[in-house]
Structure 1
Amino acid sequence: MRLNSLSALLVSMYAISNYAWAEADPVYEVIEVRGHVYKQDKVTEQAVTSPNYAIPTSDLADLLTSLPGANVNANGPISKIAQYRGLYGDRIATQVDGLTLAGAGPNSMDAPMSYASVLMTESIEMIRGIAPVSSGVDTLGGSLKVNTVNPDVGDQWAHVLGQFTDNGEQSQLGAITNLSWGEQAVLLHYEQAKGNDAVEDGAGRKIVPGEYDKQQFGAKYLIELTPEHKIMLSYGAVNTGNSASPALPMDIDFIDTDRYKVSGNSEFGWGEMNWHIGWQNARHGMSNSLLRPVKSPMMARYNRADSTGVDASVAFELEQWEFGLDFQQSVHDSLITNPNNPMMKVDNFKEVESQTLSAFAQWSETYGDHSWQLGTRVKQYHNDAGKVSHSMAMMNPNIKALMDKFNQADRSQSQTGVDLVAQWLYAQNDEINWRASLARKQSSPSYQQRYLWIPMQATGGLADGHTYIGNVDLKLETAYQLEFGVDLSSGPLNLAPRVFWQKIDNYVQGVTATDPKVKMVAKMMGDSQPLMFANTDAKLYGFDVEAQYRFNDNWQLAMISSYTRGKRTDIKDNLYRLAPLSGSVSLNYQHQNWRSQLIWRGAAKQDKVSNIQNEKATAGYGIMNVLAAYETDQWLIKAGVTNVFDKEYQNHLAGYNRVMGSDIAVGERLPGYGRQVWASLLYSF
């Protein structure tokens, strides 16, 4: 296989948004970000309009900022959490290569998208708006899928990638090849991403630590038993070395993860069946003294976390109907020690188990100009945890009391959730489509929110600087969602605005802890305002819009804008870590083998911040990026500059610096990167 058209080539690595309805069901939108090895002869006009693919990335999550409504909570160069319309983390159903598997880290240093390879990614799919029940199990915050390249039967090809960015001495190297014989094929891949130095902001200050080191490799084997029946075996490994996460209390020592998957696709006279079984084993070490200074050797901490996960599903498509069963299970352990004091041991999480069994049914039909979709998913959640221990329990009565309370509690919890979704599309004419969606969604709290028994900052990547304690008796979150939108296509103009609203009962977030024992233990750790995870009430509303205008065959203007407002409704406060009004405008030029792009990205000030989490406001900003690219049948050469004018700014979704001795003060929001000059080369044969 060789790289195809110029459009397909440049729809690579740095996000081209291709807006299209799913073939099987036109009621909901699937937005796609195409990857390097995009195997299609041509792309649509919308696929040449990206406002964001001129940004070099150490993590695929960065590409989400090219999608309306999507964003990223960045805690480190490879520790980035997806956000969609104000919801993030476990509230977004995220699949990588068809698997929903929990990472090892209790602070999401290995968030789901960190398991995706830049070179191996064929596309990133996000359901725009309310996700249908068929798209995932817990879709309260939407559905996100990273589709990887699969083996090609009857084809031989290979790609080699190299990239370098000056600011931080960041590099990427990778290779992927497909070998085929008869009705079988094997795909092999390897990729390495490194940052060797501290990145500088627009004022020349070094963001320390800034290094990262990650390798990914694997293989896929495909056999076509018959033209209607296929089976694939997959293995993928991620090995991360010393890597910084300055917004968190620890940095990464290592993350070693193995993923296995067996999947199949069968076509019958009555329809289609897809199934898979996946398993993961993840080992994770993190330290507060590896890449940053610590005040005293007795304050050094090391956290060893391990997890295993199972993900299995079977789905059937029968004309207007889809049915499916899903099973997910994960087990987590996390032990905190002091490398300078072998007596110090804390069970942060011990034998924590999360299990979900669910079934869905979805019906779709078109009557004239109206298309409908109705779906329901029933979910049975089961959560449990083992007994914990603390080496200081005998010396500290407050710690012992919290430990005994947790160990004596009924930690086994079983809950039932129900999702209901209705979606409608009206094709008024060839230029105007109207859309409306209504849903009731439920999701289970994370294992950190439920089983964090002693005040700690192992909060799934919140990175607000507070210590938290969990709550075994948390209820399911229940959201009531509404969305309305229109698609306008008239000559050279395409416009797709959306407005949305949702009310979330039993929204889980931190509230002021009232237990004096919790306060005393937290004070020992330097936090006089500990929080406890609790069920509250919230609402989110806003809009996002995507637009393109084509001047002629060579020039095009594109725009994306998003805004989400999030409030607590049980008290007067704002939700934490929500992006302000933000967006981008790009001017795109293409002629024969050449392409260039000028991109402005900006955000308004954000002063609607969480008081209970002491969130700081941020000022608005705007930065400029440029890109040039040239393509032949075998080569793709790209070069660009991000933050051309070396502007000093702060992204509101960046965390707060936790590292002493840095140019950035402790507690100051981490700044955006200064000017970055980069170049990449992709060779295909």
Structure 2
Amino acid sequence: MTQTHHGVVVRPVFTYKKFKLSFLAAHFALFGVAALPVIAQANNKVELPISVVTGVAQQSPIMVVTDPKQPRQPVPASDAADYLKTIPGFVASRSGGVNSDPVFRGMFGSRIKMLTNGGEMLGACPGRMDAPSSYISPDNYDKLTVIKGPQSVKYGPMGSAATVLFDRGPESFEEADYRLDASMLYGTRNRFDSNIDGAVGGKEGYLRFTGNRSKSDDYYDGDGNRVPSRFNKWNADMAIGWTPTDDTLLELTYGQGDGESRYAGRGMDGTQFARETAGLRFKQDNISDVWKSFEAQIYYNYADHLMDNFRLRPFNSAKPMSSNVDRRTTGMRVNSTFAWDAFELVVGIDGQTSIHRKRMSFGFNHNYRHMKWNKDAEMSQYGLFGELTWRVAETDRVVTGVRADRHKAKSTLASNVHYGDQRTKTLPSGFARYEHDLSAIKATTYIGLGHAERFPDYWELFSGGPNAFNHIKPEKTTQLDFGIQYKEGPIEAWASGYVGHVQDFIIFNYNQTGNRTQDSNVNARIFGGELGASYQFTAGLKGDVSLAYAYGKNTSDGKALPQIPPLEARFALNYQQDNWSTGALWRVVNKQTRIDEGHGTLIGRDFNRTSGFGVFAVNVAYRVNDNWKLSTGIDNLFNKTYTEHLNLMGNQTLYGYATGAVKETGRTWWMRVDMSF
């Protein structure tokens, strides 16, 4: 069998309702694994890697690239934020068992640009219960790329903190053939995950299907206290590709998903996370000696999210209520790549529109379905960009990029004080980076200056208080990024640093009862970085260490910038011999005393200083043959009771759960089976 994954794909959704991909997803993901050996072929030469991932190192000084299908420790929830925590510098703003919100270098929300197959899936909840990362199941993608800092203009309005790309590569078959990958995981609290990824095709095209399901009961913290955190989610996606030549690709994608989740730190639970995604992509390579490629894509993403306070929890409120919100996003991107002897230029246009609606009902029923949808927001963005790479010499490169984006937001809810108000703004962004290879010590260094101007997102405009829509200013980040990557013999080391100024940083204000009041603009100074190293002690024994630190100061008020994660270190030791591997991971987090009580982000605020902690995990993996692998592990081996600094305060109305930071899970064991043909 010959098949490869390469490049990027296009993505998301189309029509909804009666086309039940959910039936296929449930049956393939839940029961398909049992039938896999029947269709396996003896001559397949796919070889599964042995080890379990305990940390992800950089592939280049500015970029992290990894395979999200790899089993990792700690065992992840079924969302992108929990997988990203494997990468130094990332943490997650926690609220329970699933659907955390990713934070990188202390930066949150749309400061992190997150795309799936080139499209952007935007959540609908005014409190980001369905954050964009909650709709992403990492196992369903081939490649995860993180670009640190404002150092690329090719993926829409620049992410001032980072750009995160989840991609599925197009299939490539030299003859009529198939491939099949699957996994199943079972663990503490009836945790059960199942994934399937299969494709059939030939020289001129392919059909691919990916599906997964992930569920778990409430977990217990280290003291044995139950933490409301039950979840159940599924996803299913398919792609049809036409490859009439080696240089031509036309691909149509479609996907659906849904789920529910109970929370310890919110006033409502998520009882529906329905998504529908569709996309069409065309790519032509090697058009001429100079015109290397042309790519065009359109995508459609729809989120239909339901929250209530009675279906997944004991009812302790005066009013049973259901809140239904949805968001429909359509987008496009067209770009071309040109190459000369020393230059490569990527130029293009992109754009996106989204419409947000909401409706609500009271009572123990589904009356919300009969309520009229109320459109409250229309938002759009259109941009032009160009990114140039200049190979100055064999060891030197200069990469620069500029873009301009036209943003528009309109308040469309008649009951809103800003009904009919409209904001438009054209914002520039850009960067310049110098990279140099130090051949004497086999290292690559870089230094780059980036400037990103970010238009306020839906949550900052419509969930930030009555005056936010007209008064919150765009955020302007100017940041210097620098670093080094070194590898020689048994040693591999890397470091990335940054220092920046953020003008009109958007901060959320809270009252004494913990309710958001009014967001505002301040100026901020930020700096920090990540570093890591590994050493190959023997042919089978390898040690890894990483460190991440972020600092932020509100220079307008002279206070600490809120919701900044503390210093974190990871120490890993892995041993591999023949088809066996074993590993250990020790995660150590420092205390955080630099807080600004009563201020924070949309979903979290500083309400207390937090103590440091350390948690230990171990794993063992065995590759039965080239096609089958077994792995097992124990997370939080010593049953530590601890809380993350970025956290939601517990909701006292749920099982009498005490106010205060939500505790993390206690000792957890898991077993996983991976198969590939």
Query: Could you state the TM-score of these two structures normalised by the residue count of structure 1?
Result: 0.85
Closer, same or farther: CA 367–182 of 1 in aligned 2, 3 Å: closer
d(CA) in 1 for partners of 2:593, 2:55: 31
Give yes or no for contact 1:348–1:453 (8 Å, CA) kept in 2.
Answer: no
Deviation at 1:559, TM superposition (A): 1.1
Deviation at 1:493, TM superposition (A): 1.5
Deviation at 1:572, TM superposition (A): 2.4
Question: Which one of 547, 550, 554 corresponds to residue 568 of structure 1?
Answer: 554
Deviation at 1:636, TM superposition (A): 1.1
Give yes or no for contact 1:137–1:326 (8 Å, CA) kept in 2.
Answer: no
1:36 matched residue in structure 2: 69
Please, what is the CA RMSD of the aligned residues?
2.6
2:252 is the alignment partner of 1:252: no
Closer, same or farther: CA 292–574 of 1 in aligned 2, 3 Å: farther
Instruction: Give runs of aligned pairs for residues 445-524 of structure 1, distance below 5 A.
Output: 445-452=456-463, 470-511=468-509
Structure 2 letter corresponding to 1:641: I
Structure 1 letter corresponding to 2:255: G
2:134 is the alignment partner of 1:114: yes
Deviation at 1:361, TM superposition (A): 0.9
Structure 2 letter corresponding to 1:304: N
Which gives a bigger RCO, structure 1 or 2 (Cα 8 Å, sep 6+)? 2
Closer, same or farther: CA 130–430 of 1 in aligned 2, 3 Å: farther
Give yes or no for contact 1:85–1:141 (8 Å, CA) kept in 2.
Answer: yes
Instruction: Give runs of aligned pairs for residues 306-385 of structure 1, distance below 5 A.
Output: 306-319=326-339, 320-339=344-363, 350-368=375-393, 369-385=395-411
User: SS of the residue aligned with 1:570?
Assistant: coil
Give yes or no for contact 2:508–2:518 (8 Å, CA) kept in 1.
Answer: yes
Closer, same or farther: CA 364–288 of 1 in aligned 2, 3 Å: same
Deviation at 1:406, TM superposition (A): 2.6
Deviation at 1:539, TM superposition (A): 1.7
d(CA) in 1 for partners of 2:525, 2:375: 34
User: SS of the residue aligned with 1:66?
Assistant: coil
Structure 2 letter corresponding to 1:159: D
2:519 matched residue in structure 1: 533
* Structure 1: stretches of 5+ with no match in the other structure: 22-27, 38-49, 390-402, 456-468, 514-525
Question: Which one of 634, 638, 642 corresponds to residue 635 of structure 2?
Answer: 642
d(CA) in 1 for partners of 2:360, 2:323: 4
User: SS of the residue aligned with 1:119?
Assistant: helix
Give yes or no for contact 1:420–1:440 (8 Å, CA) kept in 2.
Answer: yes
Structure 2 letter corresponding to 1:352: A
Structure 2 letter corresponding to 1:617: R
Deviation at 1:29, TM superposition (A): 2.8
Instruction: Give runs of aligned pairs for residues 204-219 of structure 1, distance below 5 A.
Output: 204-208=224-228, 210-219=229-238
Closer, same or farther: CA 671–3 of 1 in aligned 2, 3 Å: farther
2:283 is the alignment partner of 1:236: no
Query: Could you state the TM-score of these two structures normalised by the residue count of structure 2?
Result: 0.86
d(CA) in 1 for partners of 2:574, 2:356: 47
d(CA) in 2 for partners of 1:597, 1:348: 52
d(CA) in 2 for partners of 1:15, 1:416: 43
d(CA) in 2 for partners of 1:181, 1:261: 22
1:44 matched residue in structure 2: none
Deviation at 1:602, TM superposition (A): 1.3
Give yes or no for contact 2:357–2:374 (8 Å, CA) kept in 1.
Answer: yes
d(CA) in 1 for partners of 2:362, 2:555: 42
User: SS of the residue aligned with 1:308?
Assistant: strand
User: SS of the residue aligned with 2:390?
Assistant: strand
Give yes or no for contact 1:151–1:221 (8 Å, CA) kept in 2.
Answer: no
d(CA) in 1 for partners of 2:516, 2:351: 35
Give yes or no for contact 1:15–1:33 (8 Å, CA) kept in 2.
Answer: no
2:435 matched residue in structure 1: 425
Closer, same or farther: CA 436–295 of 1 in aligned 2, 3 Å: same
Give yes or no for contact 2:122–2:303 (8 Å, CA) kept in 1.
Answer: no
Deviation at 1:182, TM superposition (A): 4.6
Give yes or no for contact 1:86–1:540 (8 Å, CA) kept in 2.
Answer: no
Give yes or no for contact 2:257–2:274 (8 Å, CA) kept in 1.
Answer: yes
- 1:533-572 per-position Cα deviation (integer Å, ceiling 9, x unaligned): 1222112111210211111210111111101011211102
2:288 is the alignment partner of 1:266: no
Deviation at 1:659, TM superposition (A): 4.4
2:448 is the alignment partner of 1:437: yes
d(CA) in 1 for partners of 2:280, 2:627: 33
d(CA) in 2 for partners of 1:309, 1:15: 35
User: SS of the residue aligned with 2:133?
Assistant: helix
d(CA) in 1 for partners of 2:89, 2:330: 30
Closer, same or farther: CA 430–105 of 1 in aligned 2, 3 Å: farther
Deviation at 1:79, TM superposition (A): 1.2
Deviation at 1:272, TM superposition (A): 0.7
Give yes or no for contact 2:146–2:163 (8 Å, CA) kept in 1.
Answer: yes
- 1:410-455 per-position Cα deviation (integer Å, ceiling 9, x unaligned): 5210011111201011222242332111111111111122124867
2:101 matched residue in structure 1: 81
Percent identity, aligned pairs only, is 21
Question: Which one of 92, 117, 121 corresponds to residue 97 of structure 1?
Answer: 117
User: SS of the residue aligned with 1:442?
Assistant: strand
Closer, same or farther: CA 174–484 of 1 in aligned 2, 3 Å: closer
User: SS of the residue aligned with 2:81?
Assistant: helix
Greater displacement, 599-608 / 472-481: 472-481
Give yes or no for contact 1:15–1:34 (8 Å, CA) kept in 2.
Answer: no
Give yes or no for contact 1:425–1:436 (8 Å, CA) kept in 2.
Answer: yes
Equivalent pairs counted in the alignment come to 616
Closer, same or farther: CA 603–229 of 1 in aligned 2, 3 Å: same
2:644 matched residue in structure 1: 651
1:665 matched residue in structure 2: 658
d(CA) in 1 for partners of 2:345, 2:616: 47
